[in-house]
A and B are shown apart, each in its own frame.
Chain A
């Protein structure tokens, strides 16, 4: 092959000519003029729910002329968590990623501020609850946008027949469809009596005390109901307080009416408990009811989602939001924000809620009365009170209001459920509190 020598002069001249041609070329608005956008979204467990989000995103992409690719990443086996950690380390990844509960705060330094879109969204859609603000906004900066997809409230899901028969509680009358709750007497004392009565009748409440999220969330809400904080907002360890002692005492009594193997329960155990027809109550979003609808319709017909019992410090329901965030190294931040705004519109949120059968829960105050929750069944209206439409309870998360780095460790290491089980198994209260204080002391390191 004949070779041709390229000298320095020829190379410089050629490069200059090419650069001039490129700069002078007219801008052509192509099909994907606004660039590319890669999304890593939570893989929904409800069949068909991903299709709705995909259709919405494609609708936006066509309008905005963006070339979108979507990866649905499962949270099974912590896949989504691992992906997030890997992208953070590699400083490369999706332009929009679904961040579970604690992750926006964990990656605060690597996330783009969303203040410019959150403020108008709150004006338009109503305020977000305190838990979303605690988890998603750090030091005045919105780290991510609360996502409808995957956000959930783990309140009680009770058996109408069993509560009526064994505990004399008409849960439908207490939480009627189309009206505000009449649940003044639905408090922790009533709850304990109902738990005891149902346990004696062989319809034990299915509340776990393991180290997974469902168990921790319930424990967190009950601790909040007593005003029991393990660490306060300033980061001081407040384990050895009267309120924590009261919460532990209460839980110790309650635990004697829960399944013997509650310390070994994982997030699937309460679902199985409900579907088996054994239990009168579990703490879960409507996923357990949805599975019952498919596998045990007779059980599903008797299920009713409602609010948490109130304690001395108030009524708290465990809320686990998902967020959509954008890394600082994302290449198309403006398109990412535009998509998040689109997905946070009322019509999009309503479609996503419908596609999830009412499971997904938008964080904005004006989005709690979609018809899906009123119409889903059987029994019709079983989900009406699931989104907390009357602000009847304070949506909370276990370990709040501790600084995020401490709270996340308290949550993931299930310190509260471990305290309950240790105390229940005979460990003296002071020893349990000492143990917890020492563990938390370790979480406070920088």
Chain B
């Protein structure tokens, strides 16, 4: 950002005062001061807890001595930990793929609705995303209730046997992913819709003149034009989904037999409920390198394409 000096109407004042005034008049200084409350908030609410979590992860169970990477070494030897790693990856990757597919399809449907009624649909489709997840998950909990599931009640007349939505490992994993997709797909939809609206019509017209089919238009026009937004949305969603807590906590609390625990819920179980805070901190920090690697790859790709353009 270029710094611009203020008109020197105060040239007659002392040097120190004048330079302070100049400093205050600089755009960069004003920008910094305006961003300062946010920077302070981030330092207090993000940087400090993150640093403190790193510090906790280096302590022993009794938090009395420094053990370096001892907690991570311990975790690597635990079967339950690897089960949690597997489940977190399964949960996040599956959910993001489905959210992306559903978001993409629905965005196309909405894009094709005449603009007059489109607003209404956009609003309605965003509802799952704007309701606080803990609240909507509670509604899902009742729908999946082990003994009184409303979904099972509706399926019964169709001759479908009672489904143990949260009682069997496979179904429980399916249920938590389903709820995550239900909550998160509207975010993809709205991002993709915005991207679709920015694709110039001329490109489709040119493709049509060249005799491109519907699929070819998607493959050669829409997808390349949306690539960056798809990558950023997927990255953002992957981070948020990996760090999920509320859906699993409310729906299954990690059960049955630990089969739905993800990093966040298991860290809570071990650290807060079980009283081993350093180990809980280590579990929650384990996802940082995974997400950092994913972010580096995706962002590198975006930068590369940006420079190509």
Query: A445 and B61 in contact (CB under 8 A), knowing A405-B275, A409-B276, A413-B274?
Result: yes
Q: CB-CB < 8 A to A408: which residues of B?
A: 274-275
Contact partners of B269 in chain A: CB under 8 A:
412-413
**Which partner residue on chain A sits nearest B71 by CB separation?**
A445
User: Nearest Cβ distance between residue B137 and chain A, in whole angstroms?
Assistant: 13
Q: Are A259 and B253 in contact (CB-based, < 8 A)? A: no
Q: Is there a chain B Cβ closer than 8 Å to A210's Cβ?
A: yes
For chain B residues 236-283, which have a beta carbon within 8 Å of chain A? 252-258, 269-270, 272-277
Which B residues are in CB contact (< 8 Å) with A445?
61, 74
**Chain A 256-268 near chain B by CB (<8 Å), digits 1 or 0:** 0001111111100
Residues in A with CB closer than 8 Å to B162 are: 260
| B254 contacts across to A, CB distance below 8 A | 211
B95 contacts chain A at the CB level, 8 A cutoff? no
B274 near A442 with CB under 8 A, answer no
0 or 1 for each of A197-229: is its CB under 8 Å from B? (1 = yes): 000000000000011100000000000000000
In Å, the complex CA distance between A278 and B162 comes to 17
Measured between alpha carbons, how far is A278 from B147 in the docked complex, in Å?
10
Given A408-B275, A442-B78: A264 and B164 interface contact (C-beta under 8 Å): yes
Write out the residue numbers on chain A whose beta carbons fall within 8 Å of the beta carbon of B15. Answer: none
Give chain B nearest CB distance to A223 CB in angstroms.
18
Interface residues of B in 51-84 (CB under 8 A from A): 60-62, 74, 77-80
A418 within 8 Å of B by Cβ?
Answer: yes
Closest to A208 in B: B146
Using known A-B contacts A82-B272, A259-B147, A272-B148, determine if residue A405 contacts B164 with beta carbons closer than 8 Å. Answer: no
| A43-63 vs B, Cβ < 8 Å mask (1 yes, 0 no) | 000000000000000000000
Question: How many residues of chain B have a CB within 8 Å of chain A?
Answer: 32
Binary interface profile of A, 403-442, with partner B (CB < 8 Å = 1, else 0)? 0010011001110001001100000000000010011001
A273 at the B interface (CB under 8 A): yes
List, in ascending order, chain B residues with CB within 8 A of A266's CB: 253
- Whether A85 is near chain B, meaning CB under 8 Å from some CB there, is yes
In the bound complex, what is the Cα–Cα distance between A409 and B252 (angstroms)?
19
Chain B residues lying within 8 Å of A212, measured Cβ to Cβ, are: 253
* Interface status of A106 (Cβ within 8 A of chain B): yes
| Chain A proximity mask over B69-103: 1 for CB below 8 Å, otherwise 0 | 00000100111100000000000000000000000
A273 CA / B146 CA spacing, docked (Å): 11
Residues of chain A contacted by B258 (CB below 8 angstroms): 418
| Cα of A278 to Cα of B272 in the assembled complex, Å | 35
Known: A422-B257, A445-B61. Is A260-B277 also a contact (CB below 8 A)? no
Q: Are A261 and B274 in contact (CB under 8 A)?
A: no
Question: Which residues in B have their C-beta under 8 angstroms from that of A264?
Answer: 146, 164-167, 172, 252, 255-256
CB <8 Å contact, A102 and B275: yes
Q: A369: CB under 8 A from chain B?
A: no
Docked pose: A89 CA to B162 CA in angstroms: 46
Inter-chain contact B74/A263, CB cutoff 8 Å: no
A446 is an interface residue with CB less than 8 A from chain B: yes
Distance, CA A81 to CA B272, complexed state (A): 8
Check A78 for interface membership: any CB of B closer than 8 A.
yes
4 shortest interchain CB distances as A-B pairs = A261-B146, A264-B167, A261-B167, A263-B256
Starting from the known contacts A264-B166, A405-B61, A413-B270, 20 additional A-B residue pairs (CB-CB under 8 Å) come to A81-B272, A81-B273, A259-B147, A262-B167, A263-B167, A263-B257, A264-B146, A264-B167, A264-B256, A272-B148, A276-B148, A278-B147, A405-B275, A421-B257, A435-B79, A438-B79, A439-B80, A442-B74, A446-B60, A446-B62
- Chain A interface (Cβ within 8 Å of chain B)? 78, 81-82, 85, 102, 106, 210-212, 259-266, 269, 272-273, 276, 278, 405, 408-409, 412-414, 418, 421-422, 435, 438-439, 442, 445-446
